[in-house]
Chains A and B, each alone.
Chain A
Amino acid sequence: MRLSHLSLVDFRSYAGLELELEPGVCVLVGPNGHGKTNVVEAVGYLATHGSHRVAQDQPLVRIGAQRAVIRAAVHHEDRSVLLELEINPGRANRARVNRNAVGKTRDALGYLRTVLFAPEDLALVKGDPAVRRQFLDELLVARTPRFAAVRADYERALKQRNALLRSAAQLRRANRGAAVDMTTLDLWDGHLASAGAHLLAARLELVESLNPLVGKAYGTIAGRDTALLDYKPSFELSTGGGSPVDESAVHDALIAALNAGRKDEIERGMTLVGPHRDELALLLDHGHGPVPAKAYASHGESWSFALSAKLAAFELLRAEAIEPVLILDDVFAELDNSRRGQLAQVAASAEQVLITAAVEEDVPASLSGMRYRIGKGTAERLR
C-alpha cells in the first residue's frame, strides 16, 4: 500500500501543503520544530483517526483556524482511493471516500493502513504495562477488526463488575459483618471471563507469532543479543503453550482466579485479575539469560527494542494481509552507525516508507528515493 499525494489544509503548522509521493523511500529533512512530524502525524491520523502525540484534536488544527483537512490518494494493487478527513475539534469529524461523504467516519477506516514508529514509542519499553497491552490490542484490531468489539465488551464488563464490587465494599463498611448480597456477581464474572478469555487467548497467540519477528528485527538492528516477548497473565494460567490457545482453559482459569480472590476484591472494591492487569515483558538476553529490558537496557538498546516491536508488527501485517505504509519519525538520530545501516535495509524493502530526520547526515546515504526539505509550513523537493 502507498500514497501518491498528500494534501493538508490548516493541519498543525501547515496552512496548505501539497506533497507528491512516489513508491519506496521518502525522507523529510529540516530543522527542529519546522513541521516534519506534523506531516507524518497527519498520515497516521488519516489511517487511525487518532494522533500518536495528543489525545485531543484541538492542537491538530492550525492556531487561528476552525478545522483541519487531511487528504490523500491511496493505492493498493490496482485500486486507488481518495481519502479525505475534516477534523472539527469538539464536533464530529467528517470523512469522504472518493469524494462521497460517508455516514460514519469509521466507515473511512481500513483504506489506509500505517505502522508508525516515533520517539513516543520508547514508552513501549520504559512505560507502564498499559502501554504494552495497548500495543498488543491495537495490533489485534489491525489484524482482525472484530477485536475492537471484544475489547469494548471486556472493558464494559469490567466497569460493571467494578461498580458492583465498589458498592459491595461500601455496604460492607456501612454495616460491618453483615453479609453482602452477591447473587449478581457470578453473572458479571461470567461476562468478564468470556470476553477476557477471548481477548487473552488472542493476545497469547499474537505474542507467539510476534516473537520470532521481534527477535529477527532486533537481531538485524542490533546485530547480536536476543530480544523476546513474554506474556505474563495476572493470574495462574498454564495453557501448555502453542497455538491455538485453548480459550476455554483460559476462561476456567480466569473464573477460578476470580473466585479465589473474591474476598480481597470485595474488600478493595475492584477487579484484581484479568487481561487489564496482565503484563507483556520485554526481555533482552546478553548471554546471561533473559532480563527485563525496562530495568537493564541502555537508552540505545531500549530504542532498538521498541523499534523492533514496531517493525515486527509491520512484518506481521505485511505477511498476513495488506502491507501498511511504514512511518519512521526521528529514528536514525538515536542509533549508532551500524544500526542505522541495518535499519536502512529494512526500510528500503517496504513498498513505501516515510522517514523524518532533523540532521540529513543521520540518514544513511544508501537510502535512495525522494527527499524533501521541510521549511516552516513548506516542503521543497530536493530529489
Chain B
Amino acid sequence: MYEGVVQDLIDELGRLPNIGPKSAQRIAFHLLQADPVDVKRLAETLLKVKETVRFCEVCGNVAAAERCRICLDPRRDASVLCVVEESKDVVAIEKTREFRGRYHVLGGALSPIEGIGPDELRVRELMARLADGVVTELILATDPNMEGEATASFLARMVKPLTADGSLRVTRLASGLPVGGDLEYADEVTLGRAFAGRRKIDG
C-alpha cells in the first residue's frame, strides 16, 4: 500500500477494464514522473470527454449531440437495423462500407458472471424502436463468442412475435470461421471447427 493520494490513483486506474493491480501501479508511477503539462492535458481531455460526449438517444452510439451522425443522416436506410454490442463495433462495420442501414448499440452482451442480464442492456429501447414496423430487417451482429451468441439468441426470441406475419426478417452475421469464446485458438483448431461445422451449399 502506498500513501494517500498515490494509492487512490492506483485504485482508480485499477478500476479500468483490463488493468490489473500491477499495470495500475506502473501507469500511476509513469504519471507521477511525467511532465505536468502532459498530465494536465490528459486530465482535461478526460473531463471534456465526459462533459461533451454523450450517447445517441436513439441508437446508443457515442454522439456529439442528442442524436448521432448516423441517426441524423437521411440517406441511411431506416428499414435495416444492425444490433451491435459496443460503439466500437459500429466503427468497425462502418469501415467496411458494406452497410447502409442504422444501428442499435446494446451496451454489452449477456454475461451473468459480470452481472449483465437483459435489464442491463438496451433491449427495451430496441423493442420500442421496432414497434412502428419501419424496420423490416434486423441484423444481429453481436460478437461471435459465447456471450454474443447467447445475446443474439435472446434477442431472436424477444422479436419472434414480430416475425410471425413476415413483417420482420431476422438475420445473424455470417462469421466465416467460427471462433470459440475469448480464447485465441490455434489456427488448426479454428479450421478444424470450420470443417466439422461445414454446411451443404446449393448451387
Contacts and interface: CB of A to CB of B under 8 A. Distances in A.
Interface in A157-207: 157, 159-161, 163-164, 167, 183-184, 187-188, 190-191
Contacts of B190: 149
Nearest to B153: A187
Interface string A105-116: 011011000000
Interface residues of A, number: 27
Nearest to A159: B113
Contacts, number: 70
Nearest to A192: B146
Contacts of B186: 104, 106-107, 109-110, 145, 148
A150 interface: yes
B113 A187 contact: no
A153 B181 contact: yes
Question: Which secondary structure characterizes the binding site on chain B?
Answer: helix
A152 B181 contact: yes
A152 B154 CA distance: 22
A53 interface: no
A160 B154 contact: no
B112 A152 contact: no
A149 B117 CA distance: 25
A349 interface: no
Contact of B185 (A144, A149, A163, A188): A149
A145 B180 contact: no
Interface residues of B, number: 27
Interface string A220-261: 000000000000000000000000000000000000000000
B150 A188 contact: yes
Interface in B172-187: 180-186
Interface in A262-311: none
B183 A188 contact: no
B112 A161 contact: yes
B192 interface: yes
Nearest to B119: A181
A107 B185 CA distance: 10
Interface in B99-123: 110-113, 115, 117-118
Given A160-B147, A163-B112, A187-B154, A149 B189 contact: yes
B154 to A, nearest CB: 6
B158 to A, nearest CB: 9
Nearest to A166: B112
B76 interface: no
A167 B147 CA distance: 17
Given A148-B189, A183-B118, A190-B153, A157 B146 contact: yes
Given A104-B186, A146-B189, A160-B147, 13 more contacts: A110-B188, A144-B192, A146-B193, A149-B180, A149-B185, A150-B180, A157-B146, A167-B115, A183-B118, A184-B112, A184-B117, A184-B118, A191-B149
Pick the 10 closest A-B CB pairs, nearest first: A146-B192, A163-B112, A164-B112, A149-B180, A163-B113, A156-B181, A153-B180, A156-B146, A145-B189, A152-B183
10 contacts: A104-B184, A146-B189, A146-B192, A149-B185, A149-B189, A153-B146, A156-B181, A160-B147, A184-B150, A187-B153
